[in-house]
Homo-oligomer: A and B are copies of this chain.
Amino acid sequence: MIIKRPQATESARNRFDRIHEEIRMRICLLDYAPGKRLSEEALAGEFGISRTPLRRVLARLESEGLVHSMHGIGTFVTDLEIEELGQTFRLRLELAELTGRLEPVLPDAALWQEFRAISTQSKAMLAEPDPRRFAKLNVDFFLCLVRLTDNEPLREITRRLYFQTTRIWLKSVFASHINLRDETHVFDREVDDIIRALELGDLHSAALIQRAHISMSFQRMLAGSRNHEA
């Protein structure tokens, strides 16, 4: 019997997922700012592959609304204005609540540990806020929250919408539409409140807290944008 050592060479699918997640994260953390052109050739070179498989990744990102390719011109990171995202945010509110209603599940030991770790990091961040690290912590927290439902299609859709909209938050920070220090405190409260609800086993309340924070975060960005115009 032949024992195949696990992934001596990375499979095509794994590599696709890895590169896809990497570029997606760069877009969400504004390493690639909205409007920036992504060179197929440069990216292919960076990841040590040819344009063909890289184009597959870009095509996926395009279907997710994160980039847009134009023949003869280039591939660009999509831009977004807070005013245009109302529809998406309203939908995210509803989906957040669904997480607490549709097949909710309590965290297992591993997930509990991740929640605790995020709480710790959140408190550490209060002393010296850093936009990018904060955004990354926000992503990690979101990816934990989505695991509070067993409904896989709901998870997938929720993730999709999250990655479409999360950049606007970091963008608002850099545009001074919202205050980073305030946001870190709000986030820390959110994490603690949700953990407390989870400790009580009240998954629906945890979902409603998340919903409320998504809504208020949107309102703060909207208000900041309007103030800035005036």
Provide the bound-state CA to CA distance between A152 and B98, in Å: 19
Query: Nearest CB to that of A55 among chain B residues?
Result: B56
A135 at the interface (CB under 8 A from B): no
**Neighbouring B residues of A186 by C-beta, 8 Å:** none
**Neighbouring B residues of A12 by C-beta, 8 Å:** 71
Chain A's interface size range is 20 to 34
A215 to chain B, nearest CB (A): 14
Scan A130-163; emit 1 where CB is below 8 A from any B CB, else 0: 0000000000000000000011111001001100
A108 to chain B, nearest CB (A): 19
A159 to chain B, nearest CB (A): 12
Query: Nearest CB to that of A69 among chain B residues?
Result: B13
**Neighbouring B residues of A56 by C-beta, 8 Å:** 56, 59
**Neighbouring B residues of A102 by C-beta, 8 Å:** 87, 90-91, 94
Q: Which residues of A contact B (CB under 8 A)?
A: 11-12, 52, 56, 59-60, 63, 71, 87-88, 90-91, 94, 98, 102-103, 150-154, 157, 160-161, 164
